[in-house]
Amino acid sequence: MNDDEIYRKLRDADPASPGRMACLELEAAEAALAEAIISRPLTAEAPEVTTTPWPSASRRPRRGILGIAGIAIAAVVAAVLLYSGGSDPGARSKAYPAELVRFAESSPLLLLEEPGWRVGYANQESAGEGELEFIRGRKLPPERISEGRDGAIHGLRPPAVRQRRAELNWRGGPLRPWLGDRAASADFRTTAAVLGTTAEVFRYEDGHPGDYEFTALWAEAGRVLEFRAPVPDLAAFDRHLAALHRVGSQRWLEAMPASVIKAASHGRAVAAMLKGIPLPAGFKASEIPDAGLTTDRYQLGAAVAGTVACRWFRQWGEDRDRGDEAGVSEAELALAGAKKWPILREMESEGAYPQVVEELAAAMPSGEFFGRPLLTEVGPALGCAARGIQLHAGPAG
Amino acid sequence: MNRNPPSEEALPREFAEAWFSRLYREHEREILRYALRRSAEPQDAADVVAETFLVAWRRLRDVPDGDGARLWLYATARRVLANQRRGLERRTRLTERLREELRRQVPVQSPNEHRKVLEALAGMKDDDRELLMLVGFEELAPSEAASVLGISAISARTRLHRARRRLRARLAEQGERKQPNETEMWEAR
């Protein structure tokens, strides 16, 4: 069998040969995808988003019944609550720093004000993009969703549990692509009044009486708002929409969950997280970027461990290029112990960031990660540039 | 013509949209086919396409002109796919519709007569397989495949020669062996 015959056999077996592709009708879905991408923010510098196992990317459980993936991706800001003390939260106003108020005001300042409902978490990807989770009752158990070969979804929470949760998303860009996207997965469409305007409401297919998922989209002040909830029927969804109220920033901040770290204790929390981590010479805790509002413990842990790890990788690269074997060994030894860093251990159950640090550290002796120079992978994987640490691949890669 | 903006000033959105639309129109199918050939489930290819073009959208200044764009997209898709396999890539909401269409329309099983070739490929070392696929399926020249893989053209030619030899040997070996289930075959990679 000569070379030409080998390639002919390959072409014949091509799972995506021109002939097979010609049988597919994908144009509408492909166009919708292009529109959806263009509707995303155009950021000139977002390399970390691309290949990054960024902490929040893999942390939140998947949700929804149609293969809805975790949402939060890049930068980090979670809501922060400052207590002014006192046992009665309603007794007097709490004082929030100006940056917290700015954070609140960059959101749509909406709350779901139904009896028993509260904010589960808040997350903001960027100034124009974020999400709020509302829950009723205690925290929902995690889902272990899998998709069978027949397309069936397994491992979902029971309907009664799922219906204790709703989410509100806000994003920049035009409304139209989102409507097209949701319509493609819906078996019923209507409209509903919400906050003085009219929302387009979609019911996702695959539901059945007592167990539906609805989503409502509307445009507001140049952004797209989407409220989504599993509900037993449309009437229940309408009740949710009617309970969405706009509030002031003070009240909005007071509704944020207490699980987030107090902004005022950022320095103390960082110092505690640094315990048990070997630090490069000259490292100062002040090098860990304070995003101003940050964050919950996972996100802050990623900032702490990531900054330290990036510094070690930088030393490793520089010393390697200089031929300083002692410096190289010191960095390799420090990162080889990452699996024992307390904050990474704590984060393990929530996401992949610890695993990524360890995988990258394990690649130090070879200097390569999946066939590519290690340092070119480290930067985006750990978000080093975003933490103010530039890595140079150097002459040896 | 160089379509890249010449300076580091903010990219005008109209410019970005027009350029991205052209990039997408010219290359989306190639990236989709690339992803389909390498995804365990057809619908997973939608995530690779979405993430690859999302990277392109956010890094338009980095996307080379002309034919270089295609190689840049392949290299990006390769890394997206690697992250996906390592469980590091998220699924994006952007792809719900395309995922569904791929799941519904693309057959999972290949015809029997082609499974032998795919099985032989699946059993090869990652580097050899990827090189053969880039040349055999994507129909890249060895130097182009080298660019996608980040290796030298000389190295690519040497490895390609070796990979072809190994594939040929595997196909000869297989002869009358029982055909495995294709899913088992891909999952064993």
Cα A48 from chain centre:
13
Q: Minimal Cα distance from B150: which residue of A?
A: A372
Q: How far apart are the C-alpha atoms of A298 and A57, rounded to whole Å? A: 12
Q: Minimal Cα distance from A14: which residue of B?
A: B137
* Min distance B94 CA to chain A CA atoms (Å): 6
B13 versus A235: which is more confidently predicted?
Answer: A235
Q: Report yes or no: B88 at the A interface, CB cutoff 8 Å.
A: yes
Residue A61 confidence (pLDDT): 29
Residue A147 confidence (pLDDT): 57
A75 versus B33: which is more confidently predicted?
Answer: B33
* Min distance A16 CA to chain B CA atoms (Å): 5
Residue B66 confidence (pLDDT): 74
The H-assigned helical ranges of chain A are: 3-13, 18-22, 27-38, 47-51, 98-105, 159-162, 176-184, 234-242, 249-254, 266-274, 297-322, 325-336, 342-347, 353-362, 374-382
Of A256, A293, A299, whose CA–CA distance to A98 is shortest? A293
Residue by residue, pLDDT tens for chain A (397 residues) are 778 888 888 888 888 888 778 778 888 889 889 988 888 877 643 333 222 222 232 333 222 222 222 222 122 222 222 222 223 333 345 566 665 676 677 788 999 999 899 988 776 655 567 788 899 988 777 666 555 666 666 667 788 888 999 999 988 888 888 888 788 888 899 999 999 999 999 998 878 899 999 999 999 988 899 999 999 999 999 999 999 999 988 888 888 875 544 444 567 778 889 999 999 999 998 888 765 444 467 778 888 999 999 999 999 999 999 999 999 999 999 999 998 999 999 887 666 778 888 888 988 999 987 777 889 888 877 888 878 898 876 554 4
Q: Report yes or no: A24 at the B interface, CB cutoff 8 Å.
A: yes
Of B37, B60, B101, the CB nearest to A16: B37
Residue B87 confidence (pLDDT): 64
User: Per-residue b/e over A177-192, b at no fewer than 16 CB within 10 Å?
Assistant: bbbbbbebbbeeeeeb
**Chain A 343-362, residues with CB within 8 Å of chain B CB atoms:** 352, 356, 359
First vs last Cα of chain B: how many Å apart? 42
pTM of the model as a whole: 0.41
Beta partners for A193?
A198
What was the ipTM of the complex prediction? Answer: 0.85
CB contact under 8 A, A24 and B58: no
Residue A136 confidence (pLDDT): 92
